[in-house]
Amino acid sequence: MIPIILAGGSGTRFWPMSRKERPKQFLKLLDDERAMIEATVDRLASLSDEDRPVQIVCHSGLVPPMKEILGEERRVQFIEEPAARDTAPAIAYATACAEALYGDEPIAFFPADHFVAGQKAFERCLRFAAERAEEEEAIITLGIPPTRPETGYGYIECAESIDDIGTELRAEPVVRFVEKPDHTRALQYLREGRYLWNSGIFVFRPATLWAELQRQQPKMWNQVQKLRQTLAADKTNTDELTEVFNDMEPISIDYAVMEGANRVEVIPALFRWSDIGHWAALDEVKDTDADGNVVDADALLDEVTNSVVVSHESQRLIAASGLDNMVIVDTDDALLVIPRNRAQKVRDIVERLKEQ
C-alpha cells in the first residue's frame, strides 16, 4: 500500500508550545525524544515497498522545517499543497499524485500527530485494511474500541456489537459517522458496544475515491479530473495544479465523502491509540510520577497532583504548591495556566489572542 501522512495541521490546542510555525506534529510530546511526525514516519516505514517512500502531504511552508526534523535518514516524499486547505482537497490531491506515480494501489491515510503503541498489531490491522480495500472496493477505516466515555473524539457506529473482538481481525459495515458527543451520549455509546472512536486512519484505492467523488461531489470530481490529466501529462506544471487546487471547496473528507459513501467498513483496531488532543491527554502517552503528574520541566512541586507541568525551550524553574488537575505550560514568550478540565478550551484562547 502507499502510506500518506496528512501533516498540515496547525495544532492550536498545544499552545503555547505549538505555534503556526511549530505545529503539534513538530513537538516532542512522547517520552522517546522523537517529534510526532518522526514517530509517525517510523511507524509507517515497513508498510510500503522499499522503492516507495512514505508520502507526506502538507503546504509548502511546512516542508523545509519538516525535512530538517526528519533528517536525511528517513525515506520520505513530499506532496506539497499549494495552500492549507481542509482534508477533502488535500486527500483528493494526494490521491491523484499517488495514482500518477503508482497506479490504482491502495492508499492509507494517517494523521501526523497521533500516538500508537503496538507496532505489530498496527501493521496487521493495516495490511488487513489494504486487502479489504482492494478486494471489496470499499473505504476502510480504523476504529478504536472505546475505554471511556470520551467527548473529544468522533465515533463510528457499527451494525453489530464489537465487544467480543479479542485479537481477531474483522471488518464491520459502518452505519454512520458520529460527531463528538456530549457526556450522556458518550456514556450510551460506551455501554451499547457498537461504537468505535474514529482514528482518522482510512484506506482505499484511488478508483474507490473517484467513484464516490463522482457520485457525491460532482464539482470536486471535475476538478480532480483536471488534476489527474495535468499530472498524467506533466507533473511539473505546478501553476495549473495550484489553480485547480485553490479553487476546491475547503471541506472535510468526513463531510465530503465518508458520511455518504456507499461502502464503508471499519476495522476494530488491536493497537493502543490516542490522538493526544490537548494538554490534559498527555498522561495517556507519557509516564507520570507517583502523584499522577506529567512533568517535563525543571520543577519544584509541593503537594501537586494529577497535573501537567511542561516547559519548552525555557530554562525557567517552575515552583508550584497545592495544585490538583492543573496544566502549566511555560515557553520562552508565553505561559499557560489552566485547569485540566479546560484543556480543550486552549483553542479558544488562541483565537482570542489572534483577535488581539
Please give the residue ranges that form the binding site for a copy of itself (CB under 8 A): 15-16, 300, 302, 315-323, 326, 328, 330, 332-339, 341-342, 345, 348-349, 352-353, 356
Q: Which is nearer to a copy of itself, 233 or 317 (CB)?
A: 317
- Strand 195-204 and strand 139-144: pairing? antiparallel
Q: How far is the CB of 152 from a copy of itself (least distance, A)?
A: 17
Q: Which is nearer to a copy of itself, 142 or 350 (CB)?
A: 350
Residue that has been written with the C-alpha cell 517529534 in this structure: 35
Length of the chain: 356
Distances in Å between the alpha carbon of 255 and those of 43, 54, 194, 210? 28, 26, 21, 15
The alpha helices in 51-86, defined as continuous H runs, are: 63-70
61, three cell numbers: 511552508
In a 10 Å sphere around its CB, with 0-12 CB exposed, 13-18 middle and 19+ buried, how is residue 356 labelled? exposed
- Strand 195-204 and strand 155-158: pairing? antiparallel
Q: Which is nearer to a copy of itself, 199 or 344 (CB)?
A: 344
Q: Which is nearer to a copy of itself, 136 or 351 (CB)?
A: 351
Separation of alpha carbons 296 and 283, rounded Å: 12
Q: Which is nearer to a copy of itself, 183 or 219 (CB)?
A: 183
Residue that has been written with the C-alpha cell 500527530 in this structure: 113
Q: Which is nearer to a copy of itself, 214 or 325 (CB)?
A: 325
Q: How far is the CB of 174 from a copy of itself (least distance, A)?
A: 37
Strand partners, 295: 309
Q: Which is nearer to a copy of itself, 232 or 300 (CB)?
A: 300
Q: Give me the amino acid identity at 106.
A: P
Q: How far is the CB of 312 from a copy of itself (least distance, A)?
A: 12
Q: Which is nearer to a copy of itself, 151 or 242 (CB)?
A: 151
Separation of alpha carbons 341 and 324, rounded Å: 11
Q: How far is the CB of 319 from a copy of itself (least distance, A)?
A: 5
In a 10 Å sphere around its CB, with 0-12 CB exposed, 13-18 middle and 19+ buried, how is residue 31 labelled? exposed
Distances in Å between the alpha carbon of 138 and those of 61, 212, 261, 262, 313? 34, 10, 9, 8, 46
Distances in Å between the alpha carbon of 66 and those of 59, 78, 90, 242? 11, 10, 18, 21
